[in-house]
Structure 1
Amino acid sequence: MVENWLFIFAIFAVLLIPGPTNALLASSAHHQGIFKTFSLIPIQLLGYVYGISIWSLIMHLTMPVWPMLTSILHAISALYVLWLAFHLWKTVHLEQHSRKNTTLNRSQLFISTLKNPKSLLFAAGIFPQWTWDSFQNYGFVIGVFCLILIPCALAWIYFGRKVLTGDVKGMTADRLYKGSAMFLMLSMLPVFVGFFDF
């Protein structure tokens, strides 16, 4: 597990990489406008907090019966990161996603965020082990997570819209995805190192 300040860097990396929720925000900003999309950030935050909390509850409840579950989930998280980096390197689905999703409502964003595999990655691989020791620790880490999510969501709303409209010179969805894949692999090294600490 990442047990020092590096988990903050890993949170930034995972929240900034393209994914279903970020693509929905970019598409919403492109089709519905930036200001309307701003109001969806609390819904995204709520979806992540619920998803992370559900995964942590599952791990906590199964720990006495199946103590290896946390290690297995950590391994799944590491494999997910590898798959995601490879997937981002060879695809440019931001424009296709935008064409399919011209409108976005609150329930659609909440469900997409709740089902997002990044929630498992945060709960099992990125958040420090001491997060689950007390409500105070949990509140602190979730607070840090919320403070990081807001600028990341704003970045996707602003820059995602610009990429979709072609306003960023030299920046295409293809380059955005390839850069995200390299950034993800670099910043997720602590997760892979934590996997070998078990």
Structure 2
Amino acid sequence: MGPPELAAAIFALLLTPGPTNTLLFLAGTERGFPRVLRLIPAELAGYLATVVPLTLAGAALLSRFPEARPAIALAAGLWVAWLAIRLWRLPSAGPSGSGSVTARDVFVTTLLNPKALIFGLVLLPAPSVTGILANLGQFAAQVVIVAMLWAGGGALVAARTGGTRSVILLRRAAAVWLGVVSATLLARALGAA
């Protein structure tokens, strides 16, 4: 896969709605764009903590320990379920409050994000160290760009709808979506066990 095809594949997968993007969108609605930018390093760190080892040795490890795949899906499903419940129950932080989404939430959610498996096992491995480093650099840049798009989208929605009630409704919608993602992950984990 050449650089343009890799860029398109990374971009398409990163743009797909998932738990991390949901958190960034929600954080954008609660904090506004400038303050949500502080969460992007947590997303990048979460992805790199998973993707780098997978890119370097993941295929060999997962073929040796196939039970790790459903265990990872189970951990991710349980984490996302906990996030969904927490987001549903939170009181209003108000549109200009510090928000309900923390850097820790973003880091752990991204660390357990199933997309990281695709990046680390399929898209980013290359035959040479130089190729791997180039792919990781491209990936990191695209993570930042897409995170800014999701966070900016949340900030834009909040600016257009305004008010604490809208933030609460968006938080509840995010909780429902995370519940669906969690159920899917748990079903995969239990089906593979």
Match of 2:109 in 1: 117
Unaligned runs of 5+ in 1: 30-36
Deviation string, structure 1 residues 22-79 (Cα, Å, up to 9, x no partner): 65554334xxxxxxx42541x3222222232233445567769x82488555434422
CA contact (8 A) 2:84 2:179 kept: yes
Distance 1:47 1:80 in 2: 19
The CA deviation at 1:135 is: 0.9
Distance 2:173 2:78 in 1: 18
Match of 1:27 in 2: 30
2:22 counterpart (17, 22, 26) = 17
- The letter for the 1-side match of 2:110 is K
1:98 corresponds to 2:93: yes
Match of 2:12 in 1: 8
Unaligned runs of 5+ in 2: 1-5, 127-131
Match of 1:146 in 2: 144
2:61 counterpart (34, 53, 67) = 67
CA contact (8 A) 2:30 2:97 kept: yes
Matches within 5 A, 1:172-191: 173-182=171-180, 184=181
1:131 corresponds to 2:124: yes
Deviation string, structure 1 residues 65-108 (Cα, Å, up to 9, x no partner): x8248855543442245335655666653643737x9447xxx9
- The letter for the 2-side match of 1:155 is G
The CA deviation at 1:150 is: 1.1
1:52 corresponds to 2:47: yes
Q: Percent identity?
A: 9
CA contact (8 A) 1:77 1:125 kept: no
Distance 1:111 1:139 in 2: 23
TM-score normalised by the chain length of structure 1: 0.56
CA contact (8 A) 2:25 2:151 kept: yes
The CA deviation at 1:118 is: 1.6
TM-score normalised by the chain length of structure 2: 0.57
The CA deviation at 1:122 is: 5.7
1:159 corresponds to 2:163: no
Deviation string, structure 1 residues 99-123 (Cα, Å, up to 9, x no partner): 7x9447xxx955554x423224267
Distance 1:40 1:142 in 2: 18
From the two aligned structures, give the one with the greater helix fraction: 2
Distance 1:118 1:142 in 2: 13
CA contact (8 A) 2:79 2:109 kept: no
- The letter for the 2-side match of 1:82 is G
CA RMSD of aligned residues (A): 4.7
The CA deviation at 1:125 is: 2.0
Q: Secondary structure at the match of 2:61?
A: coil
Distance 1:140 1:70 in 2: 29
- The letter for the 1-side match of 2:135 is N
